[in-house]
Amino acid sequence: MISSSTKLTITASTPGRICFFGEHQDYLGLPVIAAAISRRIQVAAHQAEQRGFRLDLPDVNGSVNIPFNGKPLPYPQSRDYFRSAVNVLLREGFTFGKGIEGDVHGNIPINSGTSSSSALLVTWLTILTQLADQPRQLPAEQIAELAYVAEVLEFGEPGGMMDHYSTAVGHVIYLESQPKIRLEKLNPPLGTFVLGDSQEPKDTIGILGRVKFGMLAIIKNLKTINPHFSLDESASNEAAEFKDFLTKDEYILLKGNLENRDILRDALILLKTPIGPGESFDHVRFGQLLTAHQANLRDAQRISTPKINRMLDAALTAGALGGKINGSGGGGCMFVYAPERPEAVAEAIEQQGGKAYIVTVAEGTTVAKE
């Protein structure tokens, strides 16, 4: 770490996340179920007399050095989340009369669909609010909202709010974004997962643009045919009445979105079902629902890849109960539910050329002072 000029060091840590259900649906106004995982990003920082923001990033052999004079920061490049976090907080009334120095460490796979960028942004916002001129410890939900503004709205990107809420709040969450934000914390007795990084680069912005805006165009078209059509309320079998008005790919995409919506609803019932004396959680059914979701992501949204399909098949053969691609797709990570023999499942994934990590559901952002 850059040498400290004060005794008070703030250390904030935020997990990555996996999306159980609702992949590629939150930005369409549909709910999601996501979970924080036990791989994290940590920022340890302190105030310094020289104004500005300076961070070492040894994991990527980089650094951040942002001069600051109290005014909003320009963006030399898009998606500069270190700067956008500062600008968002300036608009919230925070001020930074002193500098902030520190370092960043993490073990979340980068650019692989496990929300490493959102976790970093949530962590950085937490640090900034704690080391501002008038420190405030904001609720996790508020940090998540600020992170969404700083990552998505600030740069006009086509993402949703799942990443920010799931990493900041932690554990398992059910999140509705329409007609207003509704967050429900779930506590199912889940076992281990195995995360598999395909190590294939992914095109987050390109895929989000195609799948999101393609679906929005379909909905607009359908409303001219049936003004009562609703992605939230129309039954899955209603898709058939529009088959003649859509291309084959459009029809498959519509049907897949409606089916994924219903899979999430079944999963929510399962995850919220109380476990009585002598009863146990239905781990097999949970895995089956994950695999059903993957089938649509592979065939309707077309975001999976041959390598990820092979990794999933190998993991299921080795004993996993179900799984899916994770994140925007076109590469990146997949995960499987493997409450038994996760080491064998991890080995099977690596035999297919992936990098495997055994993970569990984890708590959200934590803060420590020393």
Does 204 have pLDDT greater than 90? no
- Structural domains in the chain (count): 1
Does 2 have pLDDT greater than 70? no
Structure confidence at residue 356 (pLDDT):
98
Minimum mean pLDDT among 64-78, 150-164, 284-298, 314-328: which range? Answer: 150-164
In a domain, 90, yes or no: yes
CA angle 265, 267, 273 (to 5 degrees): 105
Percentage of residues in the chain having pLDDT higher than 70: 97
Range of the domain at 164: 10-186+363-369
pLDDT tens-digit series, residues 356-365: 999 999 999 9
Residue 115 Rama label (left phi>0; alpha psi -120 to 50; beta): left
Q: Assign residue 92 the CATH number of its domain.
A: 3.30.230.10
In a domain, 255, yes or no: no
Residues 171-192: what's their mean pLDDT? 95
In a domain, 147, yes or no: yes
In a domain, 89, yes or no: yes
In a domain, 59, yes or no: yes
pLDDT tens-digit series, residues 264-296: 999 999 999 999 898 999 999 999 999 999 999
Within 13 Å, how many C-alpha atoms sit on residue 173's CB side?
A: 28
pLDDT tens-digit series, residues 89-147: 999 999 999 999 999 999 999 888 899 999 999 999 999 999 999 999 999 999 999 99
In a domain, 339, yes or no: no
Q: How far apart are CA 43 and CA 56, in angstroms?
A: 10
Does 5 have pLDDT greater than 70? no
In a domain, 127, yes or no: yes
In a domain, 279, yes or no: no
Structure confidence at residue 276 (pLDDT):
87
